[in-house]
Amino acid sequence: MPENPRVLRVVLLGAPNAGKSTLSNQLVGRKVFPVSKKVHTTRCQALGVITEKETQVILLDTPGIISPVKQKRHHLERSLLEDPWTSMESADLVVVLVDVSDKWNKNRLNPQVLQCLTKFSQVPSILVLNKVDCLKQKSVLLELTAALTEGVVNGKKLNIKQALRSRSSTHCPGPETEGPNAHSVRNPQRIGWPYFQEIFMLSALNNKDVNTLKQYLLTQAQPGPWEFHSGVLTSQTPEEICANKIREKLLEYLPEEVPYGVQQKTVIWEEGPSGELVIQQNLLVPKESHVRILIGQKGLLISQIAQEVGRDLMDIFHCDVLIRLSVKLLK
């Protein structure tokens, strides 16, 4: 640990599939979080760690906030309801991520996100508009910013001309005139949050944009002891990373609800004769038809998934990986 360590615990908050895991991977500098176009890829808290010089930023990549109704409808773990709230209790900063390419939900903050911000209004927060590269008309960003912030940033009325000046980040300087507790934040009609300290507009796939946000996070760290060794990128175990990678591919290649019913069981995890990592995981499915879907014609699909997972794990673990996947009917 350095002589003058600094630390910041950051919660990434947003609707399912807003791009939280993709942004986390870019901030950390390696793909350690599962990413899929389907929702609920991240099923539990996952710590990512950024360490530069004397500063350590700890990322809590939470599951996308969901309602109890959706949790029951999709038979999802109860932890999906509880984890984001648990993360907030230890947060120094909240990053609220909004997917501006989502035409149905981009004009308002997710109700559960607003509920979380309201409950923990004492925690500073910033707004990140993600996937701005998908917008053909950049002027739409002004309307979105006004709606999502209720026209107020860092205690001051939003300057629309200033907001248009920079694509990668917007800063509205000035002293705070009102805090979250200055008046009631429990407005049932609220669609935005007027207490964001900063706004960032980026594409999580653009390194330059992400680096702007990363440098901001590093500057927000406060004096305090590090929680991880400087070489640690995530608190996930290798087994958890492997299981998440397989899950990512299942969500990518399997139709509709099929991947959500797959249970994963690792039966072999050992070092091979040449130093390679040997993994065997059984994929247990509830229906015979799901067995056929997952195996694919002549076993091509399950073979492709195993090959892609193996390549991803080699990039992460920096060693050869031999992975075998077996599909079995759940009994």
Share of the chain above pLDDT 70, in %: 78
Worst-scoring range by mean pLDDT, 19-23, 160-164, 251-255, 264-268?
160-164
Q: What are 15-48's pLDDT values in tens digits?
A: 877 788 788 888 988 777 656 554 444 444 557 8
Rounded-to-integer distance, Cα 127 and Cα 192, Å: 10
End-to-end CA distance of the chain: 50
Worst-scoring range by mean pLDDT, 68-72, 129-133, 142-146, 312-316?
68-72
State residue 194's pLDDT score.
95
Q: What are 53-94's pLDDT values in tens digits?
A: 999 999 886 654 544 444 344 343 443 334 556 778 888 999
| 12 touches 200 (CB < 8 A) | no
For residue 201, give both structure tokens: 């507009």
Worst-scoring range by mean pLDDT, 55-59, 75-79, 135-139, 326-330?
75-79
Q: Which CATH superfamily groups domain 6-223? A: P-loop containing nucleotide triphosphate hydrolases (3.40.50.300)
Return residue ranges of the chain for CATH 3.40.50.300.
Answer: 6-223
Share of the chain above pLDDT 90, in %: 42
State residue 252's pLDDT score.
87
State residue 136's pLDDT score.
81
Instruction: Tell me the pLDDT band of 124, cut-offs 50, 70 and 90.
Output: very high
- Calculate mean pLDDT across residues 274-281: 94
Residue 20: name the closest of 12, 28, 8 by CA. Answer: 12
Residue 309: name the closest of 241, 259, 254 by CA. Answer: 241
* In the predicted structure, residue 195 carries a pLDDT above the cut 90: yes
* In the predicted structure, residue 247 carries a pLDDT above the cut 50: yes
State residue 289's pLDDT score.
93
Q: Higher confidence at residue 282 or residue 44?
A: 282
* In the predicted structure, residue 144 carries a pLDDT above the cut 80: yes
* In the predicted structure, residue 240 carries a pLDDT above the cut 80: yes
Q: Could you give the C-alpha distances from 96 to 14, 24, 35, 62, 269, in angstroms and in order?
A: 6, 13, 18, 11, 37
State residue 63's pLDDT score.
55
| 207 touches 185 (CB < 8 A) | no
Q: Higher confidence at residue 268 or residue 235?
A: 268
Quote the mean pLDDT of the chain.
80
State residue 82's pLDDT score.
45
Worst-scoring range by mean pLDDT, 58-62, 172-176, 253-257, 303-307?
172-176
Rounded-to-integer distance, Cα 274 and Cα 57, Å: 37
Question: Regarding beta strands 196-201 and 169-170, do their DSSP bridges make them parallel or antiparallel, or are they unpaired?
Answer: antiparallel
Rounded-to-integer distance, Cα 270 and Cα 274, Å: 11
* In the predicted structure, residue 134 carries a pLDDT above the cut 60: yes
* In the predicted structure, residue 241 carries a pLDDT above the cut 50: yes
* In the predicted structure, residue 171 carries a pLDDT above the cut 50: no
**104 CB-near residues (< 8 Å, 6+ apart):** none
State residue 188's pLDDT score.
55
State residue 170's pLDDT score.
43
CATH topology (fold) of 238-329: GMP Synthetase; Chain A, domain 3 (3.30.300)
Q: Could you give the C-alpha distances from 130 to 133, 134, 209, 249, 313, in angstroms and in order?
A: 8, 9, 10, 23, 27
Return residue ranges of the chain for CATH 3.30.300.20.
Answer: 238-329
* DSSP single-letter state for residue 287: S
Q: What are 96-108's pLDDT values in tens digits?
A: 999 998 887 788 8
Rounded-to-integer distance, Cα 229 and Cα 134, Å: 38
